[in-house]
Structure 1
Amino acid sequence: MKELITLTAEKDLGRIDKLLGARLTDYSRSQVQQWLKEQLVLVNDVPVKANYKVKKQDLIKIEVPEPQELELIAENIPLEIVYQDEDVAVINKPQGMVVHPSAGHPNGTLVNALLYHLKDLSSINDVVRPGIVHRIDKDTSGLLMIAKNDAAHLSLAQQLKDKTSLRRYVALVHGNIPHDKGVIEAPIGRSKVDRKMQAVVEDGKAAVTHFEVLERFGDYTLIELQLETGRTHQIRVHMAYIGYPVAGDPVYGPKKTLKGQGQFLHAKLLGFKHPRTGEEMVFEAPLPAIFQKTLAQLRKKD
């Protein structure tokens, strides 16, 4: 069955190919370009070209072709394995890598790399997500725990549910946050305007984000965040909601932002109780080079 995606522009948004490439994160930019060529993208019920400038109140409809059946293939993709034993692995995922295959990303994902580098992966999730206990966005870097068998998967997933695992992030956000600490409690669900986006909505799922200021740079603030819940795009949605969107975020942030490789958001610290031994395990990953370079430039200006 074909999928119909509808978006309503709340303001002028520039070229449609760039807009859809940024918004439709489940699909590749080359797919978006192909849909435009095949006249599957309609604006106000009229096919448009890639350079069409989206205007306020435009109604965009995309008829997504039926997906091809995904075939999981082990791929020799470089992977930073921070830790592994017979039960779990901890991976430092780079920016730009999708966690698992989907219609828009059939290969080149973390799962494809895991199949090559790790001998065993849990089978609890569906066929395209072996070993995956939790996810981070394509352009978010940092630590992920991977389950190598089903018993480990159940244990790690329960720790996430019970909020006993530790997940800390570092983000660079727009604006100068005046207070040193804060807690954001705002329910998150699918946006009423754009089904590919998340938003703070009354009927959303409970979401709680704690943050603490690490450093201020005038127009930007470096913060550390800790999640109580794990909603899709939670940090990005919550920070935009309180008026301090993550720098470099093409979906929830402003057009004028810092140049990087997507949002400046890094899963820095990961902690959990080992599923077999019960040992408390904590891992930390340094900021990516582009993140460190940007901070160094901001410090020079400050």
Structure 2
Amino acid sequence: MSKFVVKHSDKNNLQVLYEDNHIIIVNKRAGDIVQGDKTGDKPLSEVVKSYIKDKYNKPGKVYLGVVHRLDRPTTGIVMFAKTSKALPRLNKLFAEKKTNKTYWAIVKNPPVKTEDTLLHWLKKNPKNNKSAAHHKEISDGKKAILHYTTLKTLDNYTLLEVTLETGRHHQIRVQLASIGSPIKGDLKYGFNRSNPDGSISLHARRLQFVHPVSNEAIDIEAPLPEDAVWNACL
């Protein structure tokens, strides 16, 4: 299996982890939005387009397909398609759960169990953009399953590694909060104070998949944010 960890920053402060003719993978910063929304803020997709246009001196519009997203206060791996050939193939990989995504989360209260599988039914409230976790099946609820294991115990926090079986709205955030372990900085789901930069301590750490064009096994790992608590996790 090939493993790539490439650090690259350009004038847009973009950290490119992997790039070929069909795919570009970047390390998203806290506060970046992946795709444009009602805020009108410049999305990460446009920053990546600018990077491609400048790097390859491309005339006209640059093609870029959004494959998946991360919440705005979350950091880590985001993949985009550079070609119309790659986009539907990447969408299929994600839809058929043929990618392995690993997240790291820093929580204040350690879970009772050092490792476990969490099963809830989540219901989203669009009015406050928040999901609620229920232990039993409810009307309009979506089944959510994640697995976590404890990686490290710090003085005041605990580092968890999380993998998902489902991809629901705010899934990791609400499920960890439901067992009394809200993510550091996540005011929306019960943490008592915000992080200085407005982030939450949830990081899309690793992505593994088979390249949809070359059929090569790809394994990407995103460096952690520059932060004293994250540094203590290494």
Which TM-score band (shorter chain)? 0.7 to 0.9
Of structures 1 and 2, the one with the larger relative CO (CA 8 A, separation 6+) is 2
Alignment partner of 1:118: what SS? helix
8 Å CA contact 1:176, 1:218 repeated in 2: no
Q: Between the two proteins, what is the percent identity of the paired residues?
A: 32
Distance change >3 Å, CA 169–CA 133, structure 1 → 2: same
Cα drift, residue 250 of structure 1: 2.2
Equivalent residue for 2:161, pick from 221, 224, 238: 224
Distance change >3 Å, CA 109–CA 145, structure 1 → 2: same
Alignment partner of 1:153: what SS? helix
- Alignment partners' CA distance in 2, 1:230 and 1:156: 16
- Alignment partners' CA distance in 2, 1:94 and 1:257: 16
Other-structure match for 1:272: 209
Other-structure match for 1:114: 48
- Alignment partners' CA distance in 2, 1:207 and 1:282: 25
Give a deviation string over 1:255-276, Cα, whole Å, max 9, x none: 2466553211111101111011
Q: Which runs of 5+ in 1 are unaligned?
A: 1-75, 120-128
- Alignment partners' CA distance in 2, 1:198 and 1:151: 35
8 Å CA contact 1:250, 1:262 repeated in 2: no
Question: What amino acid maps onto 2:152 in structure 1?
Answer: E
8 Å CA contact 1:182, 1:211 repeated in 2: yes
Q: How does 1:66-215 map to 2 (within 5 A)?
A: 77-104=12-39, 106-119=40-53, 130-191=64-125, 194-201=127-134, 202=138, 203-215=140-152
TM-score, L = length of structure 2: 0.82
Q: Does 1:252 align with 2:213?
A: no
- Alignment partners' CA distance in 1, 2:44 and 2:230: 27
Question: What amino acid maps onto 2:42 in structure 1?
Answer: G
8 Å CA contact 2:224, 2:230 repeated in 1: no
8 Å CA contact 1:80, 1:91 repeated in 2: yes
Alignment partner of 1:107: what SS? coil
Deviates more, 1:129-138 or 1:246-255: 129-138
Distance change >3 Å, CA 78–CA 164, structure 1 → 2: same
Give a deviation string over 1:30-84, Cα, whole Å, max 9, x none: xxxxxxxxxxxxxxxxxxxxxxxxxxxxxxxxxxxxxxxxxxxxxx632111111
Size of the alignment, in residue pairs? Answer: 211
Deviates more, 1:170-179 or 1:263-272: 170-179
Give a deviation string over 1:98-134, Cα, whole Å, max 9, x none: 1111111x23220120221125xxxxxxxxx941110
Question: What amino acid maps onto 1:196 in structure 2?
Answer: N
- Radius of gyration: which is bigger? 1
The CA RMSD over aligned residues, in Å, is 2.3
TM-score, L = length of structure 1: 0.64
